[in-house]
A = this chain, B = another copy of it.
Amino acid sequence: MTKRAFDLDALSAELGDILGDRLSTSQAIREQHGQDESFHPCAAPDLVAFAHSTEDVSKIVTLCAKYKAPVIAFGAGTALEGHVNAIYGGVCIDLSQMDAVVQVRPEDMDVTVQAGVKRRQLEEYLRDTGLHFPVDPGADATLGGMAATGASGTTTLRYGAMKENVLALKAVLADGSIVELGGRARKSSAGYDLLHLLVGSEGTLGIITELTLRLYGRPEVEASGVCAFDTVQNMVDAVTLAIQCEIPLARMELMDELAIFAVNHYAGLENEVAPTLFLEFHGTEASVADDQCRFVEIADELGGKGFKAATSPEERKKLWRARHEALYAAKALNPGKKGLITDVCVPISQLAQSIADTRQDFDDHGILAAVVGHVGDGNYHTTLWVEPGDEAALKTAEDAVNRMVERAIAAGGTCTGEHGIGLGKRQFLQEEHPSAMAMMRTIKAALDPDNIMNPGKVL
């Protein structure tokens, strides 16, 4: 983490000429932009530039290219692997003021937004259109950040991740040039798919400034269900069967025993302490009833215990309360500690064993960490709680995460289902994609020869 040498004063003066008071050198603002929600220590940029337009971003990157200064895009700061930390210094471009919904096209079921529009803001904006944008990573992230990190979440099972839902984007490349990638036609086989090269590239190949997203009709009926199982294996078997039967579930969320125990304790709930599956069904009254009925049949076969269902918003909220409170409950069990949050994703045939191995490993090392997961995708998360300053505990937690990730890769899975590489998982990218690393480096070098775009991340 040596700061890169470049002429900061000259760059600052030239940026100031363009941005005026939208360029900040204040320590508080710099530090606020030097970290995300992860465990990685703050690394403040030298300057924070607030962009109002794609042209602003182009001008800023052009100057950074001139001075070979690192340039890092910042949205809401909700990333989880140190994506925004300015480990080599440089300029942070804050895109949060680029928050205009440019155009909703109900007939084409798409929307164009600036990169700084947040997920909940868009949800609110769409409220009266009968349409919705379903990708929900939990945090109220910016849509530009969600695209840049390849975010997904609880509804990915049904509606896909950002990857499947970004139709087009505008981005600024390392030389300051502006590109428009993808398009609004629902299909195209015209030329290289550069859109998907930028989605998930974490600001290392370009900065996304505007994006067109796919929308969906809001379902007539949303119903929820909860069902406990004797074992995680039985639950995964039920989920597998439901998917094979093409029951179009919108959400299938797993909480393990420890997660249920924590939330019972925290929120005074009385859920049975057992691996529990939270479900959501989207459709018409008839289709939801049919889907529920088919799911219950499957759950019954696999020892599912007492499927509970709800359709009214209040009842649904109550039923899902345990899932919604999971992180707060875990926090409450670990007062004063900071969470080391991680995720892996494995083929679903490996999921039950992967979770069992992780649980065993945690038990062996005296780690109290619950497992929650998007079980339909084979993706699960855990948070390891560490007292700030306790280096030994941090090392124990990091080692446990490393073993969990290595087991996931060995099982044919990935080191991260939805959090990205950032700083925290760089060591595993090589392990997961040994033969692809050279190709990734070739592309990075070709598109960003001076390595100014979010240097030190991903590769």
Q: How many whole Å from A106's CB to the nearest CB in chain B?
A: 7
Asked if A185 contacts B108 (CB within 8 A), the reply is no
Question: A185-B413, A189-B416, A442-B446 given. 18 additional CB < 8 A pairs?
Answer: A130-B244, A152-B189, A183-B414, A184-B412, A187-B418, A188-B345, A188-B414, A188-B417, A189-B200, A189-B417, A189-B419, A191-B200, A191-B433, A191-B458, A192-B443, A193-B196, A246-B283, A443-B447
Among B108, B379, B435, B446, the residue within 8 A (CB) of A446 is B446
Answer yes or no: A332 CB below 8 A from chain B CBs: no
Answer yes or no: A421 CB below 8 A from chain B CBs: yes
Asked if A345 contacts B438 (CB within 8 A), the reply is no
Answer yes or no: A219 CB below 8 A from chain B CBs: yes
CB-CB under 8 A for A217 and B243, given A107-B348, A413-B183: yes
Asked if A377 contacts B186 (CB within 8 A), the reply is yes
A246 to B222, CA, bound (A): 13
Asked if A445 contacts B443 (CB within 8 A), the reply is no
Asked if B379 contacts A189 (CB within 8 A), the reply is no
Among B192, B205, B436, the residue within 8 A (CB) of A440 is B192
In the assembly, how many copies of this chain are there? 2
Answer yes or no: A1 CB below 8 A from chain B CBs: no
Among B160, B191, B446, the residue within 8 A (CB) of A421 is B191
Shortest Cβ distance from A242 into B: residue:
B217
Q: In the complex, which residues of chain B have a beta carbon less than 8 angstroms from the beta carbon of A417?
A: 185, 187-189
Answer yes or no: A240 CB below 8 A from chain B CBs: yes
Answer yes or no: A342 CB below 8 A from chain B CBs: no
Q: How many whole Å from A39's CB to the nearest CB in chain B?
A: 18
Q: In the complex, which residues of chain B have a beta carbon less than 8 angstroms from the beta carbon of A108?
A: 347-349
Answer yes or no: A161 CB below 8 A from chain B CBs: yes
Asked if A185 contacts B246 (CB within 8 A), the reply is no
Answer yes or no: A432 CB below 8 A from chain B CBs: yes
